[in-house]
Structure 1
Amino acid sequence: MADPAFSLCVYCGSRPGADPAFAQAAQAVGRWIGAHGGQLVYGGGSSGLMGVVAEAARLAGGRVVGVIPQTLVDKELANRRCDELHIVQTMHERKAMMAERSDAFVALPGGIGTFEELFEVWTWRQLAYHDKPLGLLNVAGYYDGLMGFLRTSVASGFMSEWQMDLLHAATDAEALLRSLVQSAGPGQAPVALRSVI
C-alpha cells in the first residue's frame, strides 16, 4: 500500500452507546478515512465504536494503526486486523504514540477515556506542544451539554475564546473531517476530497 495521504487520530467509545446514530457516525468516519486514502490511528480495540470505525476504515481501503496497553488487550479485545497493532505498557505511551502518528485529531461519542484523550490533546495544543487541528463530532446532540459547559467556563473567566476556537465542533462528519485534513499543516500530501458519506 502507498503511504497514506493523511493520518487521523480518532478517539471514541469502547462501547457502542445507546443510540444507533453513534455507530452509524463511527462507520461513516472510518469509511471516509479509507475512501480518501487515509490512515486511522486509534486505541486498538475491537469493541464498541472503536471496532466500528476501525473495520469501516479497513473495508474502505484505509490503513489502520491501533495502540493499546497490555493491560487492556484482553479487556478491550485487541483488534488483530490492524495493519499495525502496537501493544504498549502504559496509557501514557499509548497516547503519546497516537499523537505522534497523527496529523489531526477527532473525538466521537465516548466515555471518560474519550473525554480525557480529547482534553489532553486540546491542552497540548493550547500550550503549543503541537499545532495539529482538533475536532469534536457532536452526534445526535451527544456533546450539547459539554459544549454548553465549555461556554460557561469561558463566560466565567476560566477559558478564553481563542482556546475554544482551537476545537472545531460540528455535527456534519464529512465537513468536519475535510476541514481537519485540509488544515493539517504543511507537508501534507494533497488529497482529492470527495463526498463518500
Structure 2
Amino acid sequence: MTKKNIVVYCGCHPGNNSIFSKVAEDVGTLIAKKGHNLIYGGGKSGLMGIVANSAMKSKGFVTGVIPEVFVKKEQAHYELQKLFIVKNLSQRKEYFLKHGDIFIILPGGLGTLEELADTASYIRTYKDCLENYPIYVLNINGFYDPLLKLFETYTQYSFIPRNEWANIIFCNSVEELNIHISKFENN
C-alpha cells in the first residue's frame, strides 16, 4: 500500500455536540493507524486541533497549512511535524489540492463548505478521473443531509450530472469511512 496524503477539512470550532469532537479524534487516529499523512488547516482550536492531536498521538505525520490572518485566531499549531504559514487562503487551498490524494470533510462552517466546493470543482475541471480523487463527507448525525439534498437537487434540475459528483461519497460513520478508504487503497 502506498502512503497517501489525506486532507481533512473541518471547523475551527468544536460545534455544540460532543459527537463531532469524538469523530474528529477517531478520524485522526484512523489516518495515523492506516499509515497515511494528515494535511489540514494548521489550527490548534476546534475540530482542526482535535484531528491533528489525535493523529500525532497515534504516531501519524501531520502537516498544517495556515494563512497569516488565522495564525492567532485559529491558534497556529506549532507542535506539528510541519507547519506552513502562507500568505492567504488561496495559497492554503492550492497546497491542499496539489498534495492531497484523499479528502475528508468533517462538520465545519463556511470555510469548510468553501473548501469542499473548491476541491470538487478543481478535481472535476483538472483531473482525468474523478474516482482517483475521492472526497468523503462524514455525515455525522445527519449534519450534511442538507448538502446531499442540494447535490441531488443540482442533478434533478440538470445543473450537475450525477457522474460529475461520483467521487463525493457521503459516509455516516468513521467505520464506513474506513471501509471506503480501504477500498481506495486496494485499487
TM-score, scaled relative to structure 2: 0.91
User: Aligned with 1:106: secondary structure?
Assistant: strand
Tell me if the contact between 1:64 and 1:82 (Cα under 8 Å) persists in the aligned partners: yes
In 2 relative to 1, CA 115–181 (structure 1 residues): closer, same or farther, beyond 3 Å?
farther
One-letter amino acid of the structure 1 residue matched with residue 115 of structure 2: E
Structure 2 residue runs of 5 or longer lacking an equivalent are none
Indicate the residue corresponding to 2:112 in structure 1: 114
Name stretches of at least 5 consecutive residues in structure 1 with no aligned partner.
187-197
Specify the alignment match of 1:5 in structure 2: 3
Mapping of residues 1-197 of structure 1, within 5 Å: 5-129=3-127, 131-180=132-181, 182-183=183-184
Q: How large is the RMSD of aligned CA atoms in angstroms? A: 1.7
Counterparts in 2 of 1:31 and 1:105: CA distance versus 1, 3 Å? same
What amino acid is the match of 2:140?
Answer: V
Conserved 8 A contact 1:133-1:184: no
Whole-angstrom CA distance in 2 between matches of 1:112 and 1:180 = 26
Aligned pair count reads: 183
Moved more, 163-172 or 54-63: 163-172
Q: Is the 8 Å Cα contact of residues 32 and 174 (structure 1) preserved in structure 2?
A: no
| Counterpart Cα distance in 2 of 1:181 and 1:13 | 25
User: Per-residue displacement from partner, 1:138-183 (whole Å, max 9, x unpaired)?
Assistant: 0111001111122112111111110231201111213324423642
Deviations 1:40-89 (A, max 9, x none): 00000000000000000000110000000111101110001110000010
Higher helix fraction (1 or 2): 2
Question: What percent of counterpart residues are identical?
Answer: 34
